Amino acid sequence: MRMTRFREKLENDEDSKGSSSGGGGGGGGGGGTAMRIIVPLQGVVQGRGGLILGSVIPCALFYFLQLYIRRNRSSSSSSSSPPSPSQPSGLPRSSSNLFSRLSTGPVYISSRASTIAKSDDNPYYVGLKKVTEDPYDALNNPDGVIQLGLAENKLSLNLVRDWMAENMKDSIIGAKGGGDLNIHGIATYQPFDGLMEFKVAVAGFMSQVMEGSVSFNPSLMILTSGATPALEILSFCLADPGNAFLVPSPYYPGFDRDLKWRTGVELIPVPCRSTDNFSLSVTALDRAFNQAKKRGLKVRGVLISNPSNPVGNMMSSETLYDLLDFAREKNIHIISDEIFAGSTHGDQEFVSIAKVLESDDFDRSRIHIIYGLSKDLSLPGSRVGVIYSFNENVLAAAKKLARFSSISAPTQHLLISMLSDTRFIREYVETNKKRIRRMYLAFVEGLKQLGIECMQSSGGFYCWANMSGLIRSYSEKGELELWDKLLNIAKINVTPGSSCHCIEPGWFRCCFTTLTENDIPVVMERIRKISETCKS
Amino acid sequence: MAIAIDIEIEKPSVGLSRVAVSDTHGEDSPYFEGWKVYDENPYDEVRNPLGVIQMGLAENQVSFDLIEEYLEQHPEASATWGNGTSSFKENALFQDYHGLKTFRKAMASFMEQIRGERAKFDPDRIVLTAGATAANELLTFILANPGDALLVPTPYYPGFDRDLRWRTGVKIIPVHCNSSNDFQVTPQALEEAYNQALAMNIKVRGLLITNPSNPLGTLIQRSVLEEILEFVTRKNIHLVSDEIYSGSVFSSSEFTSIAEILESQKYRNAERVHIVYSLSKDLGLPGFRVGMIYSYNDQVVTTARRMSSFSLVSSQTQNFLASMLSDTKFTKNYIKINRQRLRKRYEMIIEGLRKAGIECLKGNGGLFCWMNLSPFLEKPTREGELGLWNSILHEVKLNISPGSSCYCSEPGWFRVCFANMSEQTLEVALKRIHDFMEKRKTDQRNHLSY
């Protein structure tokens, strides 16, 4: 997530002073500081001999106590005043009485919140922050940090924008508005899991991006404000706190947040290896399942991402069949995150788990698909995610839970029109895939020239690059040292494999869809400089 | 002769979580039952004049025309993708959980106007969520652990059972209020509830008040707010003030927001206070899914912001509303007229009910009134109330909300919404009630004469 410069400067302050989880913020301002120093000293000045000692010692203690408290207070409330210098009436910190603060102590924050409040040291987030502070711009900031750590696609935005300009009055009412403004229809309460019309449009879109290989039933869909809540809601439905999901690694760092934060669910990484091209091994799954069982952890399901993030490879039908057999044998769920299904660029055909289900008599009630419009349609701002499930109990529960994460009605109306324009969508998907392919080839070639090989991949916005040749010690530490050099010296933000729970050090995810073709040589040059220092 | 017997072995069905199978969402209560009956037979002036009239949905439809007028006069405001190339890109890609600064500024300004500029709001303390439902749940996740409790004065909005408890695992301990003092919260009631929790070994983490109150439609007096603030400070717990109806107060001068009290106290102890707001009620835009948490606690702001990833508002919606809400001429006018219209509706329904022999609690805000049918219950019990509710739902064909589903300790009270329909529909509803009451009087007279 990008954060505004100002805000995260403050959060840096907070973090650097190591605010503890208990700190409920809100200390006193400097009110009365002077008084607090003078009063004890007065006693010293006015007293005599024994009186001096008698008053100095407690005063000194008192004085140091205040210093200690004031220091701790300011460390937990360094950002107490909101960063709004232009608003003098912005919230001033309370000049509360020291003693009333002491007597009640800081107000409690839940343990769930405390973990979230702590600053995130994960390189994935640190890198994103760095880019926001100093973003590269070919013209205006050529020495800035180049963003290769965010799986965002800017390559085909112009197509979407042009469609908007041609087809809509650009109004919240959408194409149906015409001159007839009727806010009534979109302003009032809507079904929390999305308008049926929108579900129909999204189902059609999903089918289109998967080249018509499979069709989706709108009645099996719950729409949510993004894939992030879709995943969380599904997690709440399938697992109790303390249960676990098996997740083939390397995996998308965001899963650690989306599936664990509030649900209390555990994620067990199931390592994939470069020797297998990082593809899923059911043997490894089985082993992980048994290990979990020994530890007393109840495994509720397997979460796969297909096309994979961060590797970019796709699952074959055979692997999917094996996975289905595994799930049936263990009586667990499968969540298939197919959010990059329409962003494939290779020759390999994408196979959705829905497709595999069609051909056999599998128990569908254990299969759930996550999807969204943020990747394939380049519209993360619209916040559209999908839970697609064959399990009516899951659908019933998710439908109720969707009220916490509903999509804005005007957004739904706008997108209904766009998604229903199948001709546009077909052109968009084709053109987008071509553009991704072109960038992918150019980027991978560029890396190859530097002696850096990438895993063969055919989906997603990134390549999975093996930079182990550049790291000093073949370990996570070595990898992070390289990551740090790349970020702070070369000024490119890439995601290190360790953030993705990759067990082999040296792999990095590099997203190339936020670049233009002219940026590629710039990136390669920067990497080359670093690689030279590494080899020496 | 051997007979082949087919034994069907049931395949073990794959398990779901407790959250998925529990009924903690509380959606089986009469509050939601009535909606189902309405859905099956909804009133329509023309097409279904004998259908059920929905008086159980607190939605504000009285001021749509003002928004439509604004849109007509400001077509550029509805350029929700932003003007120009770069802003299209920014908006399309924007998923920053800080939310658009312009939008937060506009929200802060709107909230200040609603409170007659008696309190200031800092846009950087605003965390946007997809509706107040998400805001309340989010705050609960942050302020309490599973098994902890929040104190909530009764009667309260039935949705709290779901919003505060379902996924969070947090409990609600009711703070009982009664009609002897117009259902106001008292320090004794607060202490009693708190001690009850202590006795059950449950940690109380906060108090959630709704001001203006749902379902009562009343405002919390300044002195009571001060008592509440003193109580939460003494117990070192949080205070959540759900002020989503603050713009629907009939007379601005009567409403005191907790923000005003904090400001007058120079924000002493403010770090335990959080305000929930939304545009669903005051602006009549529930479909837009715009809510927010305003917190005086930095850590809560930071955490809530990160957690709001599960509940972001679409960038176009933020854009669109930013321009509309920054237009102070529009908002001042809207707030004023909306108030007037709600007041008129309120007076209309009170008068209509009075003519039918029904009294209501004196209300000063909200989209509903709190009707007293206790004199007409067969038995002064929950069953009596539900019996009457059933008759009203199925015979009179009005969906109103029984007080028991709001955990009211006294049977016979009902919440009746009046802003989600046209004036004509309201007239029809009042006539039906009138006729129903007349019929009861006649029946009773006949009964007595035997």
What is residue B302's predicted lDDT score, i.e. its pLDDT?
A: 93
- 3 state SS of A225: coil
Helix axes B85-93, B315-326, angle to 10 degrees: 120
**Backbone φ, ψ for residue A523 (5° rounding):** -60, -45
Question: What are the residues whose beta carbons fall under 8 Å from the beta carbon of A408, sequence distance 6 or more?
Answer: A225, A383, B130, B287, B288, B289, B290, B313, B314, B316, B317
Does A19 sit within 8 Å of B143, measured CB to CB? no
Flag whether residue A188 sits within 8 Å of chain B, measured between CB atoms: yes
Distance from CA of A534 to the nearest CA of B (A): 35
User: Among positive and negative, which fits the CA dihedral A468, A472, A476, A480?
Assistant: negative
Residue B27 has which token pair? 């959606």
**Backbone φ, ψ for residue B201 (5° rounding):** 65, 30
Flag whether residue A262 sits within 8 Å of chain B, measured between CB atoms: yes
Residue with tokens 């497709």: A355
Distance from CA of A362 to the nearest CA of B (A): 12
Residues of A in contact with B123 (CB under 8 A): 84
The closest CB to that of A411, out of B133, B236, B317, belongs to B317
Mutate to test the interface with B, among A172, A399, A413 (most CBs of B within 10 A): A172
**B249 strand-pairing partners:** B365
* Residues of B recognised as catalytic: 157, 242, 244, 281
- 3 state SS of B149: strand
Flag whether residue B253 sits within 8 Å of chain A, measured between CB atoms: no
Flag whether residue B145 sits within 8 Å of chain A, measured between CB atoms: yes
Contact in structure between B278 and B290 (CB atoms under 8 Å)? yes
- pLDDT value at A351 more than 90: yes
State the number of CA atoms in the 13 A half-sphere of A508 facing the CB: 34
Flag whether residue B86 sits within 8 Å of chain A, measured between CB atoms: no
Does B317 sit within 8 Å of A410, measured CB to CB? yes
Contact in structure between B292 and B151 (CB atoms under 8 Å)? no
Name the least confident of A49-53, B46-50, B116-120, B196-200. A49-53
- Amino acid symbol at A322: D
* Residues of A recognised as catalytic: 252, 337, 339, 375
What is residue B79's predicted lDDT score, i.e. its pLDDT?
A: 60
For chain A, percent of residues with pLDDT exceeding 70:
76
For chain B, percent of residues with pLDDT exceeding 90:
79
* A501 Ramachandran zone, left/alpha/beta (phi>0; psi -120 to 50): left
- pLDDT value at A55 more than 70: no
Residues of B in contact with A23 (CB under 8 A): 299
Which residue would you say has higher pLDDT here, A1 or A360?
A360
Flag whether residue A409 sits within 8 Å of chain B, measured between CB atoms: yes
Residue with tokens 């920014």: B90
pLDDT band at B254, cuts 50/70/90? confident
Q: Which of B431, B341, B322, B271 is nearest to B99 (CA)?
A: B322
C-alpha A95/C-alpha A534 separation (Å) is 54
The closest CB to that of B12, out of A104, A264, A331, belongs to A331
The per-residue pLDDT for range B24-76, each reduced to its tens digit, is 777 778 878 888 999 999 999 999 999 999 999 999 999 989 998 888 888 77
What is residue B102's predicted lDDT score, i.e. its pLDDT?
A: 93
Pairing assessment for the beta strands B413-417 and A244-249 based on DSSP bridges: unpaired
Q: What is the ipTM of this complex?
A: 0.91
C-alpha B414/C-alpha B408 separation (Å) is 9
Write out residues 82-111 of A within 8 Å (CB-CB) of B. 82-84, 87, 89-97, 100, 104-111
What are the angstrom distances between the C-alpha of B118 and each of A45, A321, B114, B259, B336?
Answer: 47, 65, 9, 9, 16
Does A110 sit within 8 Å of B144, measured CB to CB? yes
C-alpha A187/C-alpha B19 separation (Å) is 30
pLDDT band at A97, cuts 50/70/90? very low
Task: Give the 3-state DSSP-derived string for B303-331, with helices as H, strands as E and coil as C.
Answer: HHHHHHHHHCCCHHHHHHHHHHHHCHHHH
State the number of CA atoms in the 13 A half-sphere of A132 facing the CB: 17
- pLDDT value at A83 more than 70: no
What is residue A165's predicted lDDT score, i.e. its pLDDT?
A: 82
Average of per-residue pLDDT across A245-274: 95
pLDDT band at A232, cuts 50/70/90? very high
User: Among positive and negative, which fits the CA dihedral A79, A82, A85, A89?
Assistant: negative
pLDDT band at A58, cuts 50/70/90? low
Distance from CA of A26 to the nearest CA of B (A): 6
C-alpha B52/C-alpha A396 separation (Å) is 26
Does B296 sit within 8 Å of A332, measured CB to CB? no
What is residue A194's predicted lDDT score, i.e. its pLDDT?
A: 95
B14-B20-B22-B28 Cα dihedral, nearest 10 degrees: -120
Residue A515 has which token pair? 């670049």
What are the angstrom distances between the C-alpha of B422 and each of A54, B263, B345, B417?
Answer: 79, 39, 10, 12
Name the least confident of A106-115, A294-303, B240-249. A106-115
pLDDT band at A64, cuts 50/70/90? low
Work out the number of other CB atoms within 10 angstroms of the CB of residue A519. Answer: 18
Edge-to-edge strand order for the sheet containing B368-372?
Answer: B359-360, B368-372, B413-417, B401-402
Contact in structure between B255 and B249 (CB atoms under 8 Å)? yes
Residue B118 has which token pair? 């008696």
The per-residue pLDDT for range B129-145, each reduced to its tens digit, is 999 999 999 999 999 99
Flag whether residue B38 sits within 8 Å of chain A, measured between CB atoms: no
- pLDDT value at B433 more than 80: yes
Does A14 sit within 8 Å of B302, measured CB to CB? yes
What is residue A116's predicted lDDT score, i.e. its pLDDT?
A: 80
- pLDDT value at B319 more than 60: yes
Flag whether residue B143 sits within 8 Å of chain A, measured between CB atoms: yes
